[in-house]
Amino acid sequence: MLDKVRLSSAADDVRYDEPMSAHTTFRIGGTADAFVSAANALEIGKVIHFCKDTDTPYVIIGNGSNLLVGDGGIRGVVIHIGKAMSKCRIDGTEVTADAGILMSALAHNILEARLTGFEFAAGIPGTLGGGIFMNAGAYGGELKDIIETVTFIAPDGLIKTETADNLGFGYRTSVFTEGGYTILSCKMRLEEGDYDEIKERMAELSRRRAEKQPLTQPSAGSTFKRPEGYFAGKLIQDAGLMGCKIGGAMVSDKHAGFVVNDGTATAKDVMALIKYIQKAVNDKFGVMLEPEVRFIGET
């Protein structure tokens, strides 16, 4: 049983039996035994120490934009890195930012500093920490291209800083996806640019997103990784699956690469639809799609 007294002494903002549907962009998920809104690295360290000392499972989340939480919820502790850890400091072309800052807010700060190189990430609906975790990218850019160093809590509990070259960044992956790491901040190197040009580029990409993606419906973003030599959305569309539904989960009729929640979907619906898509695409094209969405919690 969760030791609420000890956990509450480790962190100031702890909520129990917290509905995870309120903390994911899919708007799906059962309750977490405990939900901690982390205030700083010290508090995160204390909570992780509590979890390890009491054999309590824990998971780190950001904005919940790439997550599907099981209908059975999450046993143990969810450590949320968000608004309380969202500072940003810009010195010349060097940007240092906390893991909890939203990509959109960071992009605004970078724009005001007249720096270019981050435009591709302005519309990614997540935190910087979540983006680093999966090496988020869009429109030809990836975070690994501009990151110099990342500071994190390592599996051994020590706070470390490593250069990007040592962090295993690849397509939608990094050393952090192996588990046991907690991203705290990063330092990026950008270039000086023209304010109006940067602003227009961000606006252009925003328009393209709005035209092509189902931004008005709850989802976890792109459901599948891009298979080598193909585009997941086109394979799904060519398999005749646009608009396909299981329960409240549906393949978007605007962009087949997105599974969306019609407002009634459960995690079970989404997982069933993902498996159905995988089988249909594999049967038709011999390509097994790999989910980009991260599954956590109990089904």
Upper half-sphere CA count for residue 218 (Cβ side, 13 Å) = 22
Partners of 217 in the β-ladder: none
The catalytic position among 15, 75, 189, 292 is 292
Q: With a cut of 90, say whether residue 48 has pLDDT above it.
A: yes
Average pLDDT for residues 197-206, to the nearest whole number?
96
Whether 290 is a known active-site residue: answer no
Question: Which CATH code for domain 85-212?
Answer: 3.30.465.10
Q: Provide CATH 3.90.78.10 ranges for the chain.
A: 232-296
Whether 222 is a known active-site residue: answer yes
Q: Provide CATH 3.30.465.10 ranges for the chain.
A: 85-212
- Top CATH class, 4-80: alpha beta
* Percent of the chain predicted with pLDDT > 90: 98
Q: Provide CATH 3.30.43.10 ranges for the chain.
A: 4-80
- Of the candidates 106, 275, 79, 104, the one whose C-alpha atom is nearest the C-alpha of residue 181 is 79
The model's pTM: 0.94
> CB of 57 within 8 A of CB of 296?
no
pLDDT of 286: 98
Residue 267 phi/psi, 5-degree rounding, is -60, -35
Number of other residues whose CB lies within 10 A of the CB of residue 230: 14
- Of the candidates 53, 57, 64, 85, the one whose C-alpha atom is nearest the C-alpha of residue 19 is 64
Q: What is the mean pLDDT of the chain?
A: 96
The catalytic position among 172, 174, 185, 219 is 172
What's the pLDDT tens digit per position in 218-265?
999 999 999 999 999 999 999 999 999 999 999 999 999 999 999 999
- Top CATH class, 232-296: alpha beta
What's the pLDDT tens digit per position in 74-107?
999 999 999 999 999 999 999 999 999 999 999 9
Whether 209 is a known active-site residue: answer no
Confidence of residue 56 (pLDDT cuts 50, 70, 90): very high
Residue 60: both structure tokens together: 């780190």
Confidence of residue 175 (pLDDT cuts 50, 70, 90): very high
